[in-house]
Amino acid sequence: MKTIDVIAEVMKREGIENLVVYPVTPLTESTAALGIRTIVCRQERVGVGIADGFSRVSNGKRIGAFAMQSGPGAENAFSGIASAFSDSSPMLIVAMGYPRGNAHWPRFFNSTQAYDHATKWVEPINSPEMVVDAMRRAFSRLKLGRPGPVMIELPEDVAHLEAVESVNYEPVKITRSMANARDVDDVARVLLDARAPVIHAGQGVLYAEATEELKELAELLQIPVMTSLLGKSAFPEDHQLALGTATGAGGGAVGHFLQKTDLVVGVGCSFTRHNISNVVIPDGKPIVQITNDESDINKNYPVAYPIIGDAKLVLRQLLDAVRDRGAKTTHSNGAVVDEVKGAKASALEERIPRLTSQEVPINPWRIVWELNQTLDRESAILTNDSGIPRTQLVSTYEAAGPRSFIGWGKAHALGTGLGLIMGAKLAEPDKTCVHFMGDAAIGMVGMDFETAARCEIPIISVISNNSEMVSEIPRMLVSRELYRSTDISGNYADMATALGGYGQRIENPEEIRPAILRAVEATQEGRPALLEFITAGYDPARPRY
């Protein structure tokens, strides 16, 4: 067997279902022969996003895979892979490399060197003898510890060399760790002593499949729960103790409880201080942090009670510990539930004029409100794109439960959401998969709507088209006035139709809900749909959040 065939065989044994590629790699022939579906996208960054979304929605149990050619292919994929790394999303990347004799020329792009700081692990297969061990190391890092993208670089001359007669390989087993019992008991004690604790849940809850344990702890002790941006959907947002997602959209219920809390309990989160993905925890608040990565602890906040372990296993330990200390329901008088309800109602009251606006052009907040009211949230998966659409959707849409929303955003380019939602649809074909983006974002990746049509991946793209780069306007006032530098244009519904999907342009807010229902119907017929909403442009007096 040639080296490339060994890689394909290992991928098959590890359960890889799809290989996304652009433009060409010899790996497709070997994997296709084994029944691994080939999906050819239109650009590398979107292809990486498809693999990324597949892994996220599959909870890392089914791994997305992307392969690209050496040189330009590896260069163009960089932003997508860096995005996955920043969000700790697991996927297998197979990068073709230049022949070994050229691999270290000063001007050539070397993936092993370039991706060293943007992947969890990157390794070159410089001889056919090392291929099985290298693939075992790759999948070990994909399945164990903190998730992240793993890359194999395969020099073109090594790919077709004879490697082994048969592949001696067993799939990597997953293992998870509990926490130190004394650490857990300390947390149980301070948790029961706290008067106003709050839980901050991250995506570690999703990967550990710990939502039920988290709900059990919150309900037992009547503790309100907020999620990080990446952790959105780790706790059902229609739950009576759900505060929503901590974003840059303003405090709301999250801000209210963070100000009054006397103990913040982080579960499966990194506590990264970031203007997009987190609301800042006020100084002096004692913090508990449960994480599987020691590098998260004391990173941006001093952590009084660190615990290293798997979120599901540690929460189960913690539940046992608080019950051993006599916990039944220490805050069971209903006051916490009423306070959560009041704080959320107050935040909603502030936004309701925008959410129900009858303005023409359409207020984009009305779009996300109608998505929230119209979609069957139990059977839907949503994601956003960068910029203002992220804030609008994340702060308004109520995620039903685990993996019903793909939250992202620490280091991502415009257009990322399109690839992610296509990957989500591949992983969950029976779900209604929707992403919300602006007209600047579709300008980056719009041609990959054709990938969705050609490959029969029926997603819904919701476009807020105000023909402007709104976020940039305050910083480009002179160039805007003189040269219309922030203006952009396009008829994206027509583009969708031309590329083989369903497209509709909507200009009146009363047409939003019927249009969403028609788009859902189109996807049920197997066609991707694009809804282009003509929305209001820049107005310095209009609140963005």
Q: Is residue 175 part of a domain?
A: no
For 29-47, give the DSSP string: HHHHTTTPEEEE-SSHHHH
Calpha distance 533→462 (Å, rounded): 8
Q: Is residue 525 part of a domain?
A: yes
Q: Do 224 and 139 have their domain in common? A: no
- Its domain, for residue 49, covers 3-159
Is the pLDDT assigned to residue 137 strictly greater than 80? Answer: yes
Give the pLDDT score at 426.
98
Is the pLDDT assigned to residue 544 strictly greater than 70? Answer: no
Is the pLDDT assigned to residue 540 strictly greater than 80? Answer: no
Q: Is residue 345 part of a domain?
A: no
Q: Is residue 168 part of a domain?
A: no
Last residue of one domain, picked from the residues 340, 372, 392 = 340
Is the pLDDT assigned to residue 334 strictly greater than 60? Answer: yes
Q: Do 365 and 511 have their domain in common? A: yes
* Span 421-431, pLDDT tens digits: 999 999 999 99
Last residue of one domain, picked from the residues 276, 306, 340 = 340
| CATH number of the domain encompassing residue 105 | 3.40.50.970
Question: How many domains would you assign to the chain?
Answer: 3
Q: Do 139 and 87 have their domain in common? A: yes
Q: Do 133 and 57 have their domain in common? A: yes
Lowest-confidence range among 78-82, 102-106, 147-151? 102-106
* Span 431-453, pLDDT tens digits: 999 999 999 999 999 999 999 99
Calpha distance 488→59 (Å, rounded): 37
Q: Do 218 and 118 have their domain in common? A: no
Residue 126's CB is within 10 A of a number of other CB atoms, namely: 17
Q: Is residue 51 part of a domain?
A: yes
- Taken in order 491, 494, 500, 504, the sign of the CA dihedral is positive
Q: Do 335 and 392 have their domain in common? A: no
Q: Is residue 171 part of a domain?
A: no
Give the pLDDT score at 189.
97
Give the pLDDT score at 522.
98
Q: Do 360 and 336 have their domain in common? A: no
Q: What are phi and psi of 82, to 5 degrees?
A: -60, -35
Calpha distance 409→407 (Å, rounded): 7
Q: Which position has the higher pLDDT, 538 or 261?
A: 261
Q: Do 8 and 109 have their domain in common? A: yes
* Segment 154-166 mean pLDDT: 94
Is the pLDDT assigned to residue 330 strictly greater than 70? Answer: no
Last residue of one domain, picked from the residues 340, 370, 385 = 340
Q: Do 116 and 250 have their domain in common? A: no
Closest CA to 68 of 20, 103, 114: 20
Non-local (6+) Cβ contacts of 14 within 8 A are 63, 139, 171, 172
Q: Is residue 164 part of a domain?
A: no
Lowest-confidence range among 104-108, 259-263, 527-531? 104-108
Q: Do 230 and 100 have their domain in common? A: no
pLDDT-based confidence at residue 332 (cuts at 50, 70, 90): low
Q: Do 30 and 86 have their domain in common? A: yes
Cis peptide before 543 (omega within 30 of 0): no
Give the pLDDT score at 373.
97
Give the pLDDT score at 246.
85
User: Which three-class secondary structure state does DSSP give residue 465?
Assistant: strand
Is the pLDDT assigned to residue 400 strictly greater than 60? Answer: yes
Calpha distance 35→444 (Å, rounded): 32
Give the pLDDT score at 329.
59
Is the pLDDT assigned to residue 41 strictly greater than 70? Answer: yes
* Span 470-529, pLDDT tens digits: 878 888 999 999 999 989 999 999 999 999 999 999 999 999 999 999 999 999 999 999
Q: How far is CA 48 from CA 53, 92, 329, 451, in A?
A: 9, 10, 46, 13
Q: Do 404 and 271 have their domain in common? A: no
Q: Are 434 and 462 in contact (CB under 8 A)?
A: yes
Q: In what order do the strands lie in the sheet with 91-97?
A: 37-40, 18-22, 64-68, 91-97, 149-155, 121-124
Give the pLDDT score at 149.
98
Q: Is residue 17 part of a domain?
A: yes
DSSP 172: P
